[in-house]
Structure 1
Amino acid sequence: MNAASSQLDVIGNNIANSQTVGFKSGSVTFADMFAGSKVGLGVTVASVNQDFKDGTTTTTNRGLDVAISGQGFFRM
């Protein structure tokens, strides 16, 4: 139940920010839970990952708007 709640949180965040410039979507990876030798006790969140693929670049004609093409981050 907690794992499903975490997934819904990530999905909700993706939807809420889908129109935010520069937003990178997230995804949840699940893993099986084991207690001793018992199998089938459910799942847990293994990780929450962000997708860093290039998004769409939009020309704004504003001198202070910048973008990176390819790998990298802005250092501030």
Structure 2
Amino acid sequence: MATTKKRLNVTLSPKVEKVIQKLAKRDNIPQATKLSQLITIALEIEEDTEWDKLAQKRDTKSAKFVPHSKAWK
């Protein structure tokens, strides 16, 4: 059966493989699904880190602040 999802081959260390197996079993889902969930969470964390870096660059003593009422107009 065809799928719309991209398939990737990933090499895991035995330690990581065992953790994925345990988590998938705990959640009663396939290992591939658990791994996909964990990758999604990791990407969200990476994105948050990049947004934080950008915000820190802009957060200076000379930064101009925009009131909330004007920011969303």
Scaled by the length of structure 1, the TM-score of the pair is 0.27
Look at both structures and tell me which one has the larger radius of gyration over its CA atoms.
2
Flag the structure with higher strand content.
Answer: 1
- Normalized per residue, the structure richer in helix is 2
TM-score, with normalisation over the residues of structure 2?
0.28
